[in-house]
């Protein structure tokens, strides 16, 4: 599509080449806890455009469409090809700050997986059971899921609740629905324009909406098209904060916290290509020559 | 005429010691409509499994301790230390 960009979309694309990358501390936070949050990353005019798209179903998702529908063939295509129009959510994804986040986490050439606008009606008092999206996923590589909150989302409105540090657990979708509450569970309470980016394995659930207003959250899943290797600004790789983040367990981990740390360290090695990286001797001890 | 109905409290502990801290919890109410929902509480109902027992909850199942599968020693998935507790509550329900 070659239509001229106008208004908020033009502003969003004015410095499209600039992609401010994440720091190693931010990446370590993502590896350890499975998410990053960016408040106010989407300007309000673009939030309004995106909300209009959602309300008008102007960018219907591909999830669950019939196999004869062209949208069923979008999965796995470059995001820049799938959303090449000038406005709304496509413009949001061209914001330099958001391009930097995506590039840092999954590298260049992000592939579109699917998106879905999650709408929860006013006075909807049912809470979605805990689940991890898709199916049990043993890959070492990871997808990212972008949760966009285009309007203010106070606690009485929901929004999405996540369980920090759950992303490296191998579970299948709603197998975890028996669980109701965890120490450290985190509801997304935020102002308009906030982005939550999660590892694909993050346990999450939609919360009830006790307000008189309809709630929207748009979720977009992206796959890497290249090996995820030093795709961020890694100049601070040796900062002590990196190891501190990777070795801090969540309050619900209990005795399994050490195993979570081992799995984080292995993921960090994969992302950095540094097979000797360690913290607190957890991996090195296991790799000592056997007598 | 009253009928006994079951309430279940499921606690997920830090380790296999029933006196270890609660990290996650669920409540299913067969006697009424107080069944919990995801995210409806930020504080556990008891600090430990033992504290729940001392308040009258009866343990009906403990998670079995299983050795790790070779090659999968460091994988994590479901919460390991699940304790299922019950109370029987007299209700005016139908037979």
d(CA B59, CA B73): 29
pLDDT at A17 over 60: no
Q: Would an 8 Å CB–CB cutoff place B39 in contact with chain A? A: yes
> Is residue A242 within 8 Å of A24, Cβ to Cβ?
yes
Q: Is A239 exposed, middle or buried (0-12, 13-18, 19+ CB in 10 A)?
A: middle
Average pLDDT over residues A195-202: 98
User: Crossing angle for the helix pair A24-33 and A257-272, nearest 10 degrees?
Assistant: 140
**Closest partner residue to B25 among A170, A181, A259, by Cβ?**
A181
Provide the pLDDT for residue A127. Answer: 95
- Work out the pLDDT band at A24, boundaries 50, 70, 90: very high
Provide the pLDDT for residue A164. Answer: 98
C-beta atoms of A181 and B40 within 8 A: yes
Calculate the average pLDDT of chain A: 93
Render pLDDT for B37-76 as a digit per residue (tens, 0 to 9).
Answer: 999 999 999 999 999 999 999 999 999 999 999 999 999 9
Provide the pLDDT for residue A4. Answer: 38
Render pLDDT for A218-254 as a digit per residue (tens, 0 to 9).
Answer: 999 999 999 999 999 999 999 999 999 999 999 999 9
Q: Which helix (H) or strand (E) segment is A10 a member of?
A: helix A7-13
Chain B neighbors of A180, CB-CB under 8 A? 24-27, 36-41
Among B47, B76, B78, the strongest candidate for a mutation testing the A interface, having the largest count of A CBs within 10 A, is B76
Provide the pLDDT for residue B33. Answer: 93
Alpha-carbon separation of residue A105 from A66, A99, A185, A241 (angstroms): 31, 10, 23, 19
pLDDT at A8 over 70: no
Structure tokens at A56: 């008008």
Nearest CA in chain A to B24: A182
Provide the pLDDT for residue A133. Answer: 97
Interface predicted TM-score of the whole assembly (ipTM), two decimals: 0.96
| Concatenated DSSP letters of A32-76 | HHSEEEETT-S-HHHHHHHHHHHHTT-S---TT--TTSGGGG-TT
Backbone angles phi, psi at A175, to 5 degrees: -55, -25
- Work out the pLDDT band at B95, boundaries 50, 70, 90: low
Among A140, A172, A175, A180, the strongest candidate for a mutation testing the B interface, having the largest count of B CBs within 10 A, is A180
Render pLDDT for B9-27 as a digit per residue (tens, 0 to 9).
Answer: 999 999 999 999 999 999 9
| Dihedral sign, Cα of residue B74, residue B77, residue B79, residue B81 | negative
Q: Which helix (H) or strand (E) segment is A118 a member of?
A: strand A111-120
CA-nearest of A169, A171, A176, A164 to A263 is A169
Among residues 59-78 of chain B, which lie with CB inside 8 Å of chain A? 74-78
């Amino acid at each position: 599509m070659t239509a001229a960009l106008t208004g908020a979309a033009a502003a969003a694309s004015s410095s499209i080449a600039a992609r401010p990358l994440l720091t190693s501390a931010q990446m370590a936070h993502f590896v350890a806890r499975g998410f990053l949050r960016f408040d106010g990353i989407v300007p309000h005019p673009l939030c309004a455009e995106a909300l209009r798209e959602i309300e008008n179903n102007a960018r219907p998702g591909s999830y669950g469409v019939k196999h004869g529908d062209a949208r069923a063939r979008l999965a796995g295509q470059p995001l820049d090809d799938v959303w090449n129009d000038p406005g709304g959510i496509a413009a949001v994804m061209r914001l330099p700050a958001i391009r930097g986040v995506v590039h840092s986490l999954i590298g260049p050439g992000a592939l579109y997986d699917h998106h879905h606008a999650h709408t929860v009606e006013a006075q909807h008092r049912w809470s979605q059971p805990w689940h991890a999206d898709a199916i049990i996923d043993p890959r070492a590589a990871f997808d990212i899921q972008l949760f966009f909150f285009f309007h203010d989302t106070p606690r009485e409105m929901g929004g999405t609740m996540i369980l920090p540090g759950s992303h490296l657990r191998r579970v299948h979708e709603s197998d975890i629905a028996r669980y109701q509450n965890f120490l450290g569970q985190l509801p997304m309470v935020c102002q308009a324009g906030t982005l939550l980016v999660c590892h694909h394995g993050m346990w999450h659930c939609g919360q009830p909406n006790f307000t008189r207003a309809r709630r929207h959250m748009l979720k977009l899943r992206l796959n890497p098209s290249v090996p995820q290797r030093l795709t961020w600004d890694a100049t601070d790789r040796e900062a002590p904060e990196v190891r501190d983040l990777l070795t801090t367990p969540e309050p619900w981990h209990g005795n399994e916290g050490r195993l979570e740390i081992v799995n984080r360290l292995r993921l960090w090695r994969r992302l950095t290509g540094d097979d000797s990286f360690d913290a607190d001797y957890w991996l090195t001890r296991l790799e000592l020559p056997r007598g | 005429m009253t009928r006994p109905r079951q309430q279940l409290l499921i606690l997920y502990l830090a380790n296999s010691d029933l006196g270890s801290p609660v990290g996650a919890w669920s409540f299913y109410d067969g006697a009424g409509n107080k069944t919990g929902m995801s995210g409806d509480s930020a504080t556990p109902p008891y600090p430990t499994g033992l504290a729940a027992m001392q308040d009258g909850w009866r343990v009906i199942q403990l998670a079995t301790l299983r050795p790790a599968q070779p090659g999968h020693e460091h994988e994590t998935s479901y919460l390991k230390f699940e304790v299922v507790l019950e109370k029987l509550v007299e209700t005016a329900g139908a037979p």
